[in-house]
């Protein structure tokens, strides 16, 4: 052991940065937040040049916590600055609080327990990118987080952290809390912008990117709740402090949401790079001792993994290497009692329901994938259906308008990759060639058109 950093990684399996205030009985109030030195990072930030803050976040290596892991400082740096062309338009910060990815449940407890970290991070970010208006787009179905965020915004206005001439800095910022209306696709940043403009939430063609042509065709940063809530701690602690947790390319702490067949499901904030084996140990192991069968590292759009990946580092690089994606670190854990084709069917029905309809591969593909899977799970499938689904997936992946289509094929292709026999076992008595399907099957297929 050579440094405090090494010592920490040796001992501290969990690193509560975002979650540390949650234990306070009234953690959501501004009084509690101030007791924890809340809004002190804002004072530091407002005394700095905005470009210093962008550089700080670049130096910290913070990567977006909404699933894609894009470097946050770089995103801020893309916003054109100056008084000419696109730069002269108003700039906007839009917070993506539309948490809906199956398995993902980190932003909602964060907004309930500690909304001021999101507000403070949003003010700092707005100052850095020179935005005078910030919108927090909160998923509609979650009223309690919505009112906690609204209350925090009201408290911040009353305390002079929002509005005109914040803390005497000359910086003005208005913040609006906006409720969505139930559409998973609005978690996609350009669909969210269309939705915020009062339209159907359908994704936009990129480029142009939101950085130059976002909300109202003006320069816009769209960031996830957890990403922005992390910003105040980086301003207070510095980039070296932040990098003392996590890995070189995936630095910092991250909220891991463990759900399913474990003894103690819940929110565990740990350095990126921790493994599922370590997290399972912290969560008390598999519930009832029934062995692990499959899991997702970060929601249903991240390919399934199995017990052979227990020691893969849960960071952006480690999960890519394992053939999946880090996503939102929503660890859904399933034991041996769960049928893979059934689980995949349920997810596929979700994507079928949530496909926005804009592009054909996703709209039609998800519809037919759900039909084929339903037929298999009902015992009416044939071995050829497995190939049919893979072919369909091949026509969706990389060919749909946005990432929803890519996400939709993840459970199917990874499910077949690791558990092909389970799909085949569903059709043991079925002929292998769909063209000689039994009359009943043909009737069902015809019925699918109705």
Q: Which of residues 209-228 bind other proteins (CB under 8 A)?
A: 216
Parallel, antiparallel or unpaired: strands 253-260 and 266-271: antiparallel
Can you give the length of the chain in residues?
A: 450
**218 token code pair:** 């003006």
Among 19, 117, 125, 301, binds other proteins (CB under 8 A): 19
Among 32, 59, 78, 306, binds other proteins (CB under 8 A): 59
- What CA–CA distances, in Å, run from 272 to 17, 62, 96, 244? 13, 11, 22, 11
Among 74, 147, 249, 367, binds other proteins (CB under 8 A): 147
> Minimum distance between the CB of residue 442 and other proteins, rounded to whole angstroms?
28
> Minimum distance between the CB of residue 380 and other proteins, rounded to whole angstroms?
20
> Minimum distance between the CB of residue 347 and other proteins, rounded to whole angstroms?
5
Q: Which residues fall within 8 angstroms of residue 386, CB to CB, at 6 or more apart?
A: 416, 420, 423, 424
Q: Which stretch binds other proteins (CB under 8 A): 47-55, 123-131, 204-212, 397-405?
A: 47-55
Question: Toward other proteins, which CB reaches closer, 267 or 413?
Answer: 267
Q: Which residues fall within 8 angstroms of residue 252, CB to CB, at 6 or more apart?
A: 17, 60, 61, 62, 230, 242, 243, 245, 246, 271, 272
Within 98-217, strands assigned E span: 131-138, 174-179
Binding string, 237-266, against other proteins, x = CB under 8 A?
Answer: xxxxx--xx-------x-xxxxxxx--xxx
Among 123, 142, 166, 274, binds other proteins (CB under 8 A): 142
Question: Toward other proteins, which CB reaches closer, 239 or 324?
Answer: 239
Site for other proteins in 155-184 (CB under 8 A): 157, 174, 176-184
Q: Which stretch binds other proteins (CB under 8 A): 64-72, 116-124, 137-145, 417-425?
A: 137-145
Q: Which strands, in side-by-side order, build the sheet including 91-97?
A: 174-179, 131-138, 91-97, 220-224
Number of residues that bind other proteins (CB under 8 A): 109
User: Is residue 116 within the footprint of other proteins (CB under 8 A)?
Assistant: no
- What CA–CA distances, in Å, run from 7 to 3, 10, 33? 6, 5, 29
User: Is residue 275 within the footprint of other proteins (CB under 8 A)?
Assistant: no
User: Is residue 22 within the footprint of other proteins (CB under 8 A)?
Assistant: yes
| CA 361 – CA 431 distance, rounded (Å) | 28
Q: Is 366 left (phi over 0), alpha (psi -120 to 50) or beta?
A: alpha
Question: Toward other proteins, which CB reaches closer, 344 or 437?
Answer: 344
- Spatial contact of 256 and 265, defined as CB atoms under 8 Å apart: no
User: Is residue 330 within the footprint of other proteins (CB under 8 A)?
Assistant: yes
- Spatial contact of 381 and 426, defined as CB atoms under 8 Å apart: yes
User: Is residue 413 within the footprint of other proteins (CB under 8 A)?
Assistant: no
Q: How far apart, in Å, do the first and last CA atoms of the chain sit?
A: 68
Q: Which stretch binds other proteins (CB under 8 A): 103-111, 118-126, 400-408, 439-447?
A: 103-111
Binding string, 299-328, against other proteins, x = CB under 8 A?
Answer: -x----------------------------
Q: Which stretch binds other proteins (CB under 8 A): 232-240, 376-384, 396-404, 427-435?
A: 232-240
Find tokens 């893309």 and name the residue.
78
Binding string, 375-404, against other proteins, x = CB under 8 A?
Answer: ------------------------------
**181 token code pair:** 């209306």
């Amino acid at each position: 052991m050579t440094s405090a950093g090494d010592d920490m990684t040796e001992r501290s399996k969990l690193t509560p940065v975002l979650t540390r205030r949650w234990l306070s009985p009234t953690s959501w109030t501004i009084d509690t937040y101030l007791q924890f030195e809340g809004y002190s990072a804002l004072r530091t930030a407002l005394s700095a040049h905005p470009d210093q803050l962008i550089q700080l976040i670049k130096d910290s290596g913070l990567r977006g916590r909404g699933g894609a892991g894009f470097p946050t400082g770089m995103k801020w740096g893309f916003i054109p600055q100056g008084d000419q062309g696109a730069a002269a338009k108003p700039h906007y910060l839009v917070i993506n609080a539309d948490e809906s990815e199956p398995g993902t449940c980190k932003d909602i407890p964060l907004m309930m327990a500690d909304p001021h970290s999101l507000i403070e991070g949003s003010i700092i970010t707005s100052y850095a990118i020179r935005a005078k208006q910030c919108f927090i787009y909160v998923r509609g179905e979650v009223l309690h987080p919505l009112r906690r965020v609204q209350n925090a915004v009201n408290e911040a206005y009353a305390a002079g952290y929002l509005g005109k001439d914040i803390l005497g800095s000359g910086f003005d910022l208005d913040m609006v809390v906006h409720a969505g209306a139930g559409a998973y696709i609005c978690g996609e940043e350009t669909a969210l912008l269309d939705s915020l403009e009062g339209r159907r939430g359908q994704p936009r063609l990129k480029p142009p990117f939101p950085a130059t042509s976002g909300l109202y065709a003006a320069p816009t940063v769209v960031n996830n709740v957890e990403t922005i809530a992390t910003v105040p701690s980086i301003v207070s602690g510095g980039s070296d402090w932040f990098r003392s947790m996590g890995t070189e390319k995936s630095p910092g702490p991250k909220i891991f949401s463990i759900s399913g067949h474990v003894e103690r499901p819940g929110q565990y904030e740990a350095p990126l790079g921790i493994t599922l084996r370590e997290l399972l140990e912290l969560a008390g192991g598999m519930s009832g001792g029934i062995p692990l069968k499959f899991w997702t590292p970060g929601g249903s759009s991240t390919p399934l993994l199995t017990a052979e990946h227990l020691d893969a580092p849960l960071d952006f690089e480690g999960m890519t290497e394992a053939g999946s994606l880090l996503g939102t670190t929503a660890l859904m854990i399933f034991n041996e009692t769960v049928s893979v084709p059934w689980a995949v069917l349920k997810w596929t029905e979700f994507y079928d329901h949530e496909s926005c309809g804009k592009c054909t591969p996703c709209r039609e593909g998800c519809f037919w994938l759900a039909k084929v899977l339903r037929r298999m799970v009902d015992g009416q499938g044939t071995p050829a259906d497995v190939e049919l689904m893979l072919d369909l997936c091949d026509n969706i992946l990389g060919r749909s308008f946005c990432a929803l289509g890519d996400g939709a094929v993840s459970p199917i292709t990874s499910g077949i990759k690791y558990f092909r026999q389970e799909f085949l076992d569903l059709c043991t008595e079925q002929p292998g060639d769909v063209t000689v399907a039994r009359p009943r099957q043909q009737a069902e297929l015809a019925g699918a058109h109705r």
